[in-house]
Amino acid sequence: MVVFPHCKINLGLHVISKREDGYHTIETCFYPVPRTDILEIIPAKEFSFTSSGAIIPGKEEDNLCIKAYHLLKAQFNLDPVKIHLHKVIPTGAGLGGGSSDAAFALRLLNSVFDLKLNGQQLRGYASQLGSDCSFFIEDKPMLGSGRGEQLADLSLSLKGLYLVIVKPDIHVSTAEAYAGVKPQVPHQTLAEVLSQPIVEWKHLLFNDFEKSVFAKYPAIEAIKNELYDQGAIYASMSGSGSAVFGIFLLQTERLHQFNGMHYWADYLN
């Protein structure tokens, strides 16, 4: 069986407080984007994992698809499988590609072995793999709080708008991004801000990571500024970076400005 794990962008990201467990309390809106990896899982005589496409950094045993399999295997004594992941979503971008792969692995294993796990149960397993993994159990915009694993429905659609995502050759680790943030309670909740017309978001909707990340990596800020120069109605860094996205009313023809960088552009569903 084959599935297509999609990525996400963050519409606003507030780092509200430092928690006793070492994590941070955040508030964000996860929005699904139809740029996907390809994941196949089939029954096999022995377990194996292979990958193709973009290089996946780190040790193979740390891959979240493998961890997803072993998490469910410990609970349900699963038979061996063959997992193949074709990587398209860039890593270290703040687009949640690895988290999406993990969540879709759980979803696919649930189907392959007919485990009959519901969405709430799958989200519980996903939260053990990563803070934003739970979001990818369902394919719709959601407000995230807590570590990002506490999700609430949100009535928001960007359908028909044109999205450009630009990923420079810069890696910003999550730990590095959090180290530069001073937690604070926002003046408005994200739900209040996102209820405003999108043309107002430029002045109301903020990613708290941008200030410190832009100070250290001016090239990332330059991408955001270029997207606005090209006519974006809203632009922001996604998550802890380094990818930056711009939302346009119509297709932009000036993507040559980003030659040499990984970028993707298309209308949103």
Per the listing, tokens 């996400």 go with 8
Coil vs helix vs strand at 133: helix
Q: Within 10 A of 216 (CB to CB), how many other CB atoms are there?
A: 12
Average pLDDT value over all residues in the chain: 93
Coil vs helix vs strand at 249: coil
**pLDDT for residue 57:** 86
Could you report the per-residue pLDDT of 186-228, keeping only the tens digit for each? Answer: 888 999 999 999 999 999 999 999 999 999 999 999 999 999 9
Is residue 131 predicted with pLDDT exceeding 90? no
Could you report the per-residue pLDDT of 78-102, keeping only the tens digit for each? Answer: 999 999 999 999 988 999 999 999 9
Phi, psi of 73 (to 5 degrees): -60, -40
Please state, in angstroms and rounded to a whole number, the distance separating the CA atoms of residues 49 and 40: 10
Coil vs helix vs strand at 15: strand
Could you report the per-residue pLDDT of 5-35, keeping only the tens digit for each? Answer: 999 999 999 999 988 777 889 999 999 999 9
Is residue 176 predicted with pLDDT exceeding 90? no
150-153, strands of its sheet edge to edge: 6-18, 24-36, 142-145, 150-153
Is residue 73 predicted with pLDDT exceeding 90? yes
**Catalytic annotation, residues:** 8, 132
| Cα separation values, 191 from 8, 15, 38, 246, Å | 18, 15, 32, 20
Q: Within 10 A of 101 (CB to CB), how many other CB atoms are there?
A: 27
Q: Which domains does the chain have, with CATH numbers?
A: 2-153 (3.30.230.10), 162-267 (3.30.70.890)
This prediction's pTM: 0.94
Span 45-57, mean pLDDT? 94
**pLDDT for residue 177:** 82
Phi, psi of 97 (to 5 degrees): -60, -45
